[in-house]
Amino acid sequence: MRADRLVAVLLLMQARGRVTAAELAAELEVSVATARRDLEALSAAGVPVYPQAGRGGGWSLVGGARTDLTGLTAPEAQALFLLAGPAASVAPELRSALRKLLRALPGTFRADAEAAAGAVVVDPAGWGEREPERPALVQTLQSATVRRRQVSLRYEGRSGKPTLRLVEPWGLVAKDDVWYLVAGTGDGQRTFRVDRIAAATVTDRTFERPAGFELSQAWEEVVAEMERRRSLVSATVLIAERFLPILRSHFGRHCDPEGVEADGRIRARVAAPTPLTIAEQLAGWGSLVEVVEPEQVRAELARIGAELVARYQG
């Protein structure tokens, strides 16, 4: 007898108060005989369930006994179903888990949780685009992470030259349709792009995560370091106020307004890894953006402008 089916039986009785073997069989997709054996097994194991014969009979928990398998508050339950609900449409395991959890919730906020599960639909595909495919290696790495098994990677870094790495998979992160593996190595914590992993072999060697490791916190530190590298050089620019939202969309968090000039233009600071990177992003603006400083960015813009004139003049 499967333990998850016994839990489902108990949760269903808790939610409905009284059930028949036929109702359990239909709900759990088993035979009536199997459902009856499950009920008898629960009773034999000491769970306070008992049968009532006759019309309107069935099986009930003695004294309305309840088993709190969730401990969730109403807002927590709503938040869980709101976040997990959209994914349940494409993940049968999650749909089954949510259905079982729903039965375990107190009736007072079961309806709100059920409504939350269908309140949001997430469509990751842009107009005219297909839904982004999940890399095939993600499932392999996810399984290794859960089972705490070391993985041998053949990884192609920025140089394009493949190297062999033995890593401890600590967690996976998806950002802007790109998957990353946060892992432990002989040199400490490292982050690998999954689309650069040419092959991954799960080994039988186990590992333990570092004490106190939290994937969300580790990823915040990775993002902070990447953003620092992306903002090594800054430039002060002047731009008309109506164009500022567009400039901010180009530079994201690396665009900070600093004030208004006498002529009404906005003074803003933008940042990127190199002066050339800033110049390349601003060159298409023409005279709509004026770079005040530094001189390195102004020089790169002048060089790009001269190249364009030489190529297209006349």
**Tens-place pLDDT, residues 87-136:** 665 566 667 777 766 766 666 566 777 676 666 666 666 677 776 777 88
pLDDT tens-digit map of 193-218: 999 999 999 999 999 989 888 888 89
Query: How much is the pLDDT for 133?
Result: 73
pLDDT value of residue 13? 75
Distance spanning both ends of the chain, measured CA to CA = 84
Q: Thinking of the domain 136-207+214-225, which architecture would CATH place it in?
A: Roll (2.30)
Q: How confident is the model at residue 34 (pLDDT cuts 50, 70, 90)?
A: confident
What class, spelled out in words, does domain 233-312 have in CATH?
alpha beta
Provide CATH 2.30.30.100 ranges for the chain. Answer: 136-207+214-225
Q: What pTM, to 2 d.p., does this model score?
A: 0.58
Please give the CATH number for the structural domain made up of 3-64. 1.10.10.10
Instruction: Report in angstroms the alpha-carbon separations of 304 from 19, 230, 239, 270, 297.
Output: 77, 21, 20, 19, 11
The enclosing H or E element of 192 equals: strand 188-193
Distance CA 119, CA 138 (A): 28
**Full strand arrangement of the beta sheet holding 58-61:** 18-19, 58-61, 49-52
- At 35, the pLDDT band (50, 70, 90 cuts) reads confident
Average pLDDT over residues 251-261: 92
**245 or 63: whose pLDDT is higher?**
245
pLDDT greater than 70 at residue 310: yes
Reported as a pLDDT band with limits 50, 70 and 90, residue 65 is very low
Q: What residue ranges of the chain are covered by domains with CATH 3.30.70?
A: 233-312
Q: To 10 degrees, what angle do helices 92-104 and 107-117 make?
A: 160
More confident residue, 14 or 266: 266
Q: What is the per-residue pLDDT for 175?
A: 84
SS3 45: coil
CA max distance for the chain: 99
| DSSP letter assigned to residue 295 | H
Average pLDDT over residues 264-280: 95
Residues of the chain with CATH 1.10.10.10: 3-64
